[in-house]
Structure 1
């Protein structure tokens, strides 16, 4: 599911009702994922490494500042499709350091620390800094999280939407559009509360779930959501128990273990990426219904399978859309 097409109108209306926000006072100093940043003025341009960062900048009305994008899981939000079509995509997945630097960006905004961090596969923050290019990593990937452990990092604290809101607020200040940042946050918080209230009305007590992102091979152990990432936050908020007991972001867990836990609901990721065969959600569902182990789970037998935008399973503003999708699907399952 995508964010509602009326988002742009809501943001404009919300901004109109807010008191006039003070302009950013430069030099602006911020602490970001353990690194101090200082801006003497709003950046003239940006390159994004990560779809979540791209969609935040677009939502803040900063598409004209974006010189290039990279790391895509699915199609852009529909309200930005025309705008995005006119912006260069440096790579579907990981861009090269050279391709990012060639755009001469005033800032590089990053979704995952493993792309631009101590062992960054694109580059380290120091490499960009040496060229006078500041980097901003969304706080959702470093707040309460150790990216040196596990393939996708390990969380010490439960993920919360506040880390996304912090990123929106920081980028609003950096680009001197704080009023648009606050309007976006207000809208997202309102929708978050409404989705949670809808699920709470079901009074779920014994319902459980597992979130399946993908698998390196269709018939081997899947990558599923750990107990402290965005899907875990969604499950907690909606009254579902996560059957996976791991602090890793996306641990590999055997289907035999999952089947023994017998989750009430299975949530499968839908994405455009085709790195693995299991990136195709229809093949995921086909496997669940045909495999001798998975086909015996109650969720499969009773068709309690929810297809969810893959990008909404990672930290992003789409987490709110995911909450709404889940809250809308749960009532028809008759769970207790």
Structure 2
């Protein structure tokens, strides 16, 4: 068994029983802006092309049914979720931020210095009183709850106060405006939008190019000869189970590594399923979410000690891959999650 007690970790238990030796634990730090050597030339070419980009103001952005006009880059941004915070920080926009909130995991160590320079307004969502005290001109959230009545308030109301906002499109208040499924193209578009809004489109293009290059390297390493592995994406639950379904980030990560989501026929980003369904569908590997509210170690203990689950192939082979909850939201962590899930599924190919 190999393990690392880190904010971002991969654990593969008993892979020798799956036809290969257990690989070393994944790096605790997803290398967000560092493409693998095999992908460097592609990323460098795209970076060179991106350097000539400039935002032309006024800039119009259509976001989840609202149209925003920017006459200049925002100067006082507030981010309401970890994914939005990390997008801003990796784009080098800490100096344009007057507040952050609601972290699911520790900030990436590569972003810690920048993160520590920005006030944390609340452990979860700040009240409107606290938010308005920061005099924001831009509020950015990854979840619709960021713009709930107990948080920033509806985006229409913020617009009436002269505060622009951006909501990740997978969380649009009107579900008809959401994409059919979350994809890497979705986060690429979001990164480019944020970069354009803040007048740094070159940084957005360069980041997207490096992310794309890293994914191409994963695809090439896996190759065309790998048999798709049946995966159960296990978020939480003991009686019933909260599982990755057809249309969210977990399904996209599974798709990117050429595997098969056993609950791809379940609607929505997440679905509540029964253990009977899990046993019947017999996953060959289980991706287990690490979260304070539902620790991965407790779920592994449940899987390996309850005889009801003893016939599941993934349990028999102790083939478990652990990722943090923050990797299940569209953002800059998704590429590292794809890389590490691929290593967990095909260790021999990534030696």
**Correspondence for 1:193:** 216
8 A contact 1:113–1:120 mirrored in 2: no
Q: How much does 1:34 deviate?
A: 1.2
Give the 3-state SS of the residue equivalent to 2:273 in structure 1.
Answer: coil
Matched, 1:94 2:125: yes
The alignment covers a number of residue pairs equal to 316
C-alpha distance in structure 1 between counterparts of 2:307 and 2:247, whole Å: 30
C-alpha distance in structure 2 between counterparts of 1:68 and 1:53, whole Å: 12
Give the 3-state SS of the residue equivalent to 2:342 in structure 1.
Answer: helix
Which of 35, 60, 74 is the matching residue for 2:91? 60
1:189-212, Cα deviation, whole Å (9 max, x unpaired): 10111112323345214x200111
* 1:100-119 equivalences in 2 (<5 Å): 100-116=131-147
Specify every segment of 5 or more residues in structure 1 that has no aligned partner in the other structure, as ranges.
149-153
Q: How much does 1:120 deviate?
A: 7.4
Specify every segment of 5 or more residues in structure 2 that has no aligned partner in the other structure, as ranges.
1-7, 9-28
**Correspondence for 2:235:** 213
Which of 319, 322, 328 is the matching residue for 1:313? 328
1:261-306, Cα deviation, whole Å (9 max, x unpaired): 11011000123xx3x3xx2111111111112323331101101100
**Correspondence for 1:294:** 309
8 A contact 2:50–2:205 mirrored in 1: no
C-alpha distance in structure 1 between counterparts of 2:267 and 2:151, whole Å: 23
Give the 3-state SS of the residue equivalent to 2:147 in structure 1.
Answer: coil
**Judging changes above 3 Å, is the alpha-carbon distance between structure 1 residues 183 and 16 closer, same or farther for their aligned structure 2 residues?**
closer
Which of 51, 58, 72 is the matching residue for 1:41? 72
Which of 42, 54, 57 is the matching residue for 1:23? 54
TM-score for the superposition, normalised by structure 1: 0.86
1:136-188, Cα deviation, whole Å (9 max, x unpaired): 1123434xx9649xxxxx97623211111111111111110111111101101
TM-score for the superposition, normalised by structure 2: 0.82
C-alpha distance in structure 1 between counterparts of 2:152 and 2:82, whole Å: 15
* 1:1-336 equivalences in 2 (<5 Å): 1=8, 2-4=29-31, 7=34, 17-18=48-49, 20-116=51-147, 122-142=152-172, 147=175, 157-205=180-228, 207-215=229-237, 219-244=238-263, 245-271=265-291, 274=292, 276=293, 279-332=294-347
**Judging changes above 3 Å, is the alpha-carbon distance between structure 1 residues 32 and 120 closer, same or farther for their aligned structure 2 residues?**
farther
Give the 3-state SS of the residue equivalent to 1:293 in structure 2.
Answer: helix
**Alignment RMSD:** 2.7
Q: Which moved more, 1:247-256 or 1:56-65?
A: 247-256
**Judging changes above 3 Å, is the alpha-carbon distance between structure 1 residues 22 and 126 closer, same or farther for their aligned structure 2 residues?**
same
8 A contact 2:169–2:179 mirrored in 1: no
Give the 3-state SS of the residue equivalent to 2:144 in structure 1.
Answer: coil
**Correspondence for 2:19:** none
Q: How much does 1:61 deviate?
A: 0.5
Q: How much does 1:28 deviate?
A: 0.7
C-alpha distance in structure 2 between counterparts of 1:141 and 1:14, whole Å: 33
1:225-268, Cα deviation, whole Å (9 max, x unpaired): 01121111222222221111212211111112111111011000
C-alpha distance in structure 1 between counterparts of 2:34 and 2:97, whole Å: 20
